[in-house]
Structure 1
Amino acid sequence: MTTTAGPGPRGGTRTQPARTREGTGGGARTLVTGIGVAAPNGLGTRAWWQALLDGRSGIGPITRFDASGYPVRIAGEIRGFVDEDHIPSRLLPETDRVTRIALTAAEEAFADSGVEPRELPEYAAGVITASSAGGVEFGQRGLAALWAKGARYVSVYQSSAWFHAANPAQIAIRHQLRGPGSTIISEQAGGIDALARSRRRIRDGARLMVTGGVDSTLCPWGWAAHLADGRLSTSADPARAYLPFDADAGGHVVGEGGALLVVEDADAAARRGAVGYGIVAGCAATFDGADRPRLREAAELALADAGIRPEEVDVVFADGAGERAADRVESEALCALFGPYGVPVTVPKTMTGRLGAGGSSLDLAAALFTLRERVVPPTTGTRRAAEDCPLDLVTGSARELPDLRTALVLARGRGGFNSAAVVCAPAAG
């Protein structure tokens, strides 16, 4: 496994419309055929998607550790996830909670896709996922054992279970994926970046890739890092703590989980009768300059890669930082592309919190379900966008869009990462 940090700009231009062709550079088209979800408001895709449509949040008081002494005591936890119900007992001593969640999501994604990876040619399938923190809780336990008892009491798996690449490694072992493998580290943008790299591997000849992101940092060590970042909301009200694009926005809420996707060569998938959720039509990433945010450029590059004009975009899944200055930057980028109130915008992560590397992959999953169901899940908490964020924000309840065919997904990671992806309904292929 390889680890990558800090992707530079990607993308290109194309004259063919994405409604019939995918992206730049020719090569195989990439179809999403399976989705697995583990989220604070639903374990499994059906429970999670219904919760989104109902506007049901998974944010609440922290129960995974005693948070009574901390200034922030709410988060998006995956409640009811019993490790032993999902993971073989032999794997429990050598894995962190985040890897167990990732294995569970991967299992669902494969079942959803209907493909058996062991039946593919030996090196035809691989796995590329994103992580922003690795196995934080496992690392915390190891440090506690080291300082309290000594090195002899530190797990032999300490050298691997905490590592950012533990998730793709364990998924590859469990499903015998011998093809390309790596992990991406670009925080919230990581899920899109992992998808972009997997798309390139499909174009290089891979038949199938597992991709996306999962993070879980709800332990004292992880919480200390979030508090030090200084961008958490200090509101104690779960319903009003995370308010992207709201005049009262004061920070975000942390959550755990994410989504993993099975992506395939679209022609190979069609030959086995798979319809899929959507075509990955365009991807791009940029990195902020010292004095210039480049989120708009990432969106423009992704649209150009897909051959999509801004007026062809039917919905935007925004990053939604929940911090006034960052929200204005994103609003300005969207208004420059689509005009004020020019396209429906939603931030369903208000029901889960920001999930690190799992955030943009869960937004991708939501965008793909939106394409299939032709209904946009709402942004909760925020009642209406602030005057300096003139967006057509979907609030209150889900919005039906019968002609919906194209979605743009945006993400920003701490440190200046920006990523964008364009997904289109399968009929576009």
Structure 2
Amino acid sequence: MSRMVDLDDVALVGGGALEDFDTGALDPAGLDEPESLAFPADFADELDVARAVVSGLGIAAPTGLGVEEYWQATLEGRCAVGIPSRFDVSRYPNKLAAEIPGFVARERVPGRLIRQTDRATQLGLVATGEALADAGLDPDRLPDYDVGVVTAASAGGIEFGQRELGHLWSKGKQFVSAYQSFAWFFAATAGQVSIRHATRGPSGVLVTEQSGGIDALGQARRVVRKGTPVVISGSVDGGLCPWGWMGQMATGRLSTAVDPTRAFRPFAADADGYVPGEGGAMIVVEDAESAAARGLGRGYGEIAGYAATFDPSPKSARRARPAGRPAPVPGLRRAADLALCDAGLRPEQVDVVFADAAGVPELDRIEAEVLGELFGPYGVPVTAPKTMTGRLIGGGAALDVATALLALRDGVIPPTVNVAEPAAEYRLDLVTEARTRPLHTALVLARGYGGFNSALVVRS
């Protein structure tokens, strides 16, 4: 897995060598790092850069196809977790997932594209169409190079790839679709969106597992700040097939529960893992001046802050002890701090946190400690609507951001389902029933397998 990086934005500090950063061996004394982060005035004003606002949303989720259908189900706490219908899970130790029901590609996607695309790409095309319509944008009417595409993915068209590899081994190479050459690729959705809507602006794909949806939006904001008025961003991901299933099982983080109400319960005392799902959100990110000129104002809200970090290498802890240094801490706290700093906000100005909510006891403990350190015990409402949809790999964080923007729009925090109350040791104000209150700012957190941490601040 990798991050997209602009090399002109990278600088080494303290004279450290590149290999020191890779191994975690850098001497902390060589880093010119402040003891605490400052929270300055809004950087967009300080640096005179373009503001990035969200002007359109498109959602494809197990709880609803379309923004309002999804949002209504989310506020009602409807859970979509169940036994998958598209393949037999009886021989696997993990039995539950969250599928998008009732999706018939030929009813929503041009026939010529169905043969070329994986299910996740088809869902992404549908969500993109909804997002553009929601924003009132027709890319064909915009100047060339004024629209870019930045998405995220976990591994690309897994279902398409499994099917065609099955043809290869059971029937022979002449039965393999020529579209296998690109339909499996993690950039397939971004490419198909770009072709379908004739976008010619800056494009790219990020592969950071569950962090991907936030990282894509962070990169979209960067592209807007560099002068592209509109970027189609976000992620719709999937892979509910044996090949994709085995990949997620290999993490050791899937719940073994067979009762859907007991399967994905982040922050619960008896949490035992997560449930996978499919779906996500496509989001139109636009220069605020462009949106205002079209009469949209701030749209759904502004992407005010973003940051991404990596967890320390496992080698770092082993080297710290004999050297008498404290063990390095996970990077989620740094990501949250930096995103708030980027937004020019203090923790007490955050109205709600949309948690990563891994559902894995050790990861839940780390996140609860981060939230406690940042906001204080029970200091901010915390929610995890993904308990209704499962973790959607690359699409999960994008859906969380869309959900946060809808929460700001309507002044209501959606619930975390199937968790009566969090473990007492976590000291979290976990929202388990929809809660109405004024909302202006939300912090969205995500972690990807392999040590990725991302944080995004949105405000109305």
Is the shorter-chain TM-score for this pair beyond 0.5, marking a shared fold? yes
Please state if 1:237 is matched with 2:272: no
**Aligned counterparts of 1:108 and 1:302: Cα–Cα separation in 2:** 29
1:377 maps to which residue? 414
Q: Which amino acid aligns with 2:157?
A: G
For residue 85 of structure 1, report the CA deviation from its aligned partner. 0.8
Please state if 1:170 is matched with 2:181: no
The percent identity for this pair of structures is 55
2:271 maps to which residue? 249
Q: Which runs of 5+ in 1 are unaligned?
A: none
Deviations 1:136-178 (A, max 9, x none): 0111011111111111111111110000000010001111110
Please state if 1:279 is matched with 2:302: yes
**Aligned counterparts of 1:146 and 1:13: Cα–Cα separation in 2:** 57
Q: Which amino acid aligns with 1:417?
A: F
Q: Which amino acid aligns with 2:270?
A: D
Deviations 1:179-212 (A, max 9, x none): 0111100000000000000100000000100001
Tell me if the contact between 1:14 and 1:23 (Cα under 8 Å) persists in the aligned partners.
no
For residue 71 of structure 1, report the CA deviation from its aligned partner. 1.4
Equivalences for residues 204-353 of structure 1 within 5 A? 204-275=226-297, 276-290=299-313, 291=317, 292-353=329-390
* C-alpha RMSD of matched pairs (Å): 1.7
Q: Which has the higher contact order (CA 8 A, sep 6+)?
A: 1
For residue 13 of structure 1, report the CA deviation from its aligned partner. 6.2
Tell me if the contact between 1:22 and 1:280 (Cα under 8 Å) persists in the aligned partners.
no
2:452 maps to which residue? 417
Deviations 1:48-92 (A, max 9, x none): 000110000111111011112211121010000001111100111
Q: TM-score, normalised by structure 1?
A: 0.95
**Aligned counterparts of 2:348 and 2:291: Cα–Cα separation in 1:** 30
Tell me if the contact between 1:59 and 1:74 (Cα under 8 Å) persists in the aligned partners.
yes
Equivalences for residues 9-24 of structure 1 within 5 A? 15-17=40-42, 22=44
**Aligned counterparts of 1:93 and 1:121: Cα–Cα separation in 2:** 31
Tell me if the contact between 1:131 and 1:190 (Cα under 8 Å) persists in the aligned partners.
yes
Please state if 1:70 is matched with 2:92: yes
**Aligned counterparts of 1:354 and 1:422: Cα–Cα separation in 2:** 20
Answer with 1 or 2: which has the greater Rg: 2
Deviations 1:292-321 (A, max 9, x none): 311000000000000000000000000000
**Aligned counterparts of 1:128 and 1:146: Cα–Cα separation in 2:** 32
Please state if 1:142 is matched with 2:164: yes
Which range is displaced more, 165-174 or 149-158?
Answer: 149-158
Tell me if the contact between 1:132 and 1:356 (Cα under 8 Å) persists in the aligned partners.
yes
**Aligned counterparts of 1:92 and 1:181: Cα–Cα separation in 2:** 23
**Aligned counterparts of 1:312 and 1:177: Cα–Cα separation in 2:** 37
Deviations 1:346-365 (A, max 9, x none): 00000000000100000000
Match of 2:175 among 132, 153, 160: 153
**Aligned counterparts of 1:150 and 1:176: Cα–Cα separation in 2:** 36
Match of 1:191 among 213, 217, 227: 213
Count of equivalent residues: 418
- Partner of 1:332, secondary structure, is helix
Please state if 1:405 is matched with 2:428: no
Q: Which amino acid aligns with 2:435?
A: R
Do the aligned partners of residues 264 and 6 (structure 1) sit closer, same or farther apart at CA in structure 2, a change above 3 Å counting? closer
Please state if 1:387 is matched with 2:452: no
Deviations 1:327-357 (A, max 9, x none): 0100010111100000000000000000001
1:5 maps to which residue? 3
Do the aligned partners of residues 187 and 240 (structure 1) sit closer, same or farther apart at CA in structure 2, a change above 3 Å counting? same
Q: Which amino acid aligns with 1:16?
A: A
2:126 maps to which residue? 104
Which range is displaced more, 128-137 or 267-276?
Answer: 267-276
Match of 2:105 among 66, 69, 83: 83
**Aligned counterparts of 1:6 and 1:384: Cα–Cα separation in 2:** 38
Deviations 1:213-261 (A, max 9, x none): 1111101111111122211000001111001001010000000000010
**Aligned counterparts of 1:218 and 1:7: Cα–Cα separation in 2:** 30
Q: Which amino acid aligns with 2:237?
A: D
Deviations 1:263-295 (A, max 9, x none): 100011101101310000000000000243110
Do the aligned partners of residues 370 and 67 (structure 1) sit closer, same or farther apart at CA in structure 2, a change above 3 Å counting? same
**Aligned counterparts of 2:52 and 2:131: Cα–Cα separation in 1:** 16
For residue 25 of structure 1, report the CA deviation from its aligned partner. 4.0
For residue 26 of structure 1, report the CA deviation from its aligned partner. 3.2
For residue 22 of structure 1, report the CA deviation from its aligned partner. 4.1
Do the aligned partners of residues 51 and 312 (structure 1) sit closer, same or farther apart at CA in structure 2, a change above 3 Å counting? same
For residue 23 of structure 1, report the CA deviation from its aligned partner. 7.7
Tell me if the contact between 1:371 and 1:406 (Cα under 8 Å) persists in the aligned partners.
yes
Tell me if the contact between 1:282 and 1:306 (Cα under 8 Å) persists in the aligned partners.
yes
Q: Which amino acid aligns with 2:377?
A: P
Tell me if the contact between 1:23 and 1:281 (Cα under 8 Å) persists in the aligned partners.
no
Q: TM-score, normalised by structure 2?
A: 0.88
Deviations 1:361-404 (A, max 9, x none): 00000100001000000000111110221110001x200112x1
Do the aligned partners of residues 7 and 238 (structure 1) sit closer, same or farther apart at CA in structure 2, a change above 3 Å counting? farther
Deviations 1:114-152 (A, max 9, x none): 111111110010100000020001110111111111111
- Partner of 1:94, secondary structure, is coil
Tell me if the contact between 2:95 and 2:257 (Cα under 8 Å) persists in the aligned partners.
no
